[in-house]
Amino acid sequence: MPKKKYLINNIFLIIIFFLIFVFIDKNDTYKKIYNILNQKLEKRLVKVNGNCKINSYGFLKFIEKKYQLKKNPKIINYSIIPNTIWSIYDVRKKEDNKPRIFLNYQDKLSLNFSKFKDRFISDKNIINTSGINTITFDLSSDINLNHEIEIYKIKDKQKISIYKEKINKKLTKNDHINIALETDLINSRWEPIYVKLYDLDEINLKKIKKITLSLKNKYQISDYEILEQIENCYFIK
């Protein structure tokens, strides 16, 4: 008798589990649970990585879903962070060699320099530039320059000269010097950029409060056909 009761109980449990499985299967419950969990995960990732800030995870996922990209897009990020392609990269797809996505785009690029011993040092690093337009001097009073100026960086303990020229000019407050230099050397992800005025006496050196480089932008977003834009993030044709 106990064996018969045990067998009936087992059969009853099997039937119950079978009915539950059929109900779950017909109502796509597994899929619904997965979608709920996945949506919550994506919201958390957008919150952490930004929609069009930081890694711009939200913008990249939006582009991936809407356009069903056939290739892994080339991403140009104006923020100096590791490549953000990880969020939409597909190992089965080929690489797109042309820029399609611009993140944290900046139209006007510049570098500010503050005094550092006998020279001036950049306040940040810079990428996606193609040269230097002008040098602007923020002065407390006028300076008569007849000195050599050099813009350079130090990489692997080696000095890399970006621009070197003798300047003979009277500078007034916020006066600028046109350079119009085409160069990729000004790009620097890790190394600071320096500006040095050789043989400038201490009195005149103290008159320079700040130096600013106006830079050429490697990419002009107005040259492209824009398909999507969220803040400073762009997807182009």
Checking if the pLDDT of 42 tops 80, the result is no
- Same domain (yes/no): 191, 232: no
Percent of the chain with pLDDT over 70: 79
Under the banding of pLDDT at 50, 70 and 90, the label for residue 45 is: low
Checking if the pLDDT of 33 tops 50, the result is no
Residue 90 lies in a domain: yes
* Number of domains composing the chain: 2
C-alpha angle 222-228-230 in degrees, rounded to nearest 5: 95
Checking if the pLDDT of 175 tops 90, the result is no
Checking if the pLDDT of 37 tops 50, the result is no
d(CA 161, CA 153): 7
Please tell me the predicted confidence (pLDDT) of residue 12: 58
Please tell me the predicted confidence (pLDDT) of residue 233: 95
Q: What is the CATH number of the domain that holds 175?
A: 2.60.120
Under the banding of pLDDT at 50, 70 and 90, the label for residue 36 is: very low
- Same domain (yes/no): 113, 99: no
Checking if the pLDDT of 23 tops 80, the result is no
- Same domain (yes/no): 232, 206: no
Checking if the pLDDT of 187 tops 70, the result is yes
- Same domain (yes/no): 144, 184: yes
Residue 42 lies in a domain: no
Checking if the pLDDT of 91 tops 50, the result is yes
Under the banding of pLDDT at 50, 70 and 90, the label for residue 119 is: very high
d(CA 136, CA 173): 9
Spatial CB neighbours of 75, under 8 Å, sequence gap ≥ 6: 60, 83, 84, 85, 99, 100, 101, 102, 103
Residue 141 lies in a domain: yes
Please tell me the predicted confidence (pLDDT) of residue 173: 84
Higher pLDDT, 130 or 12: 130
Residue 174 lies in a domain: yes
pLDDT, tens only, 203-229: 999 999 999 999 999 999 999 999 999
- Same domain (yes/no): 91, 118: no
Residue 161 lies in a domain: yes
- Same domain (yes/no): 114, 211: yes
- Same domain (yes/no): 90, 127: no
Give the range of the structural domain holding residue 98, as residue numbers without chain letter.
50-105+223-236
Checking if the pLDDT of 108 tops 90, the result is yes
Mean pLDDT of the region 70-81: 93
Residue 11 lies in a domain: no
- Same domain (yes/no): 81, 95: yes
DSSP string of 208-228, one letter each residue: EEEEEEEEEES--GGGS-EEE
- Same domain (yes/no): 116, 158: yes
- Same domain (yes/no): 199, 229: no
- Same domain (yes/no): 134, 209: yes
Residue 3 lies in a domain: no
Residue 196 lies in a domain: yes
Please tell me the predicted confidence (pLDDT) of residue 112: 97
- Same domain (yes/no): 140, 196: yes
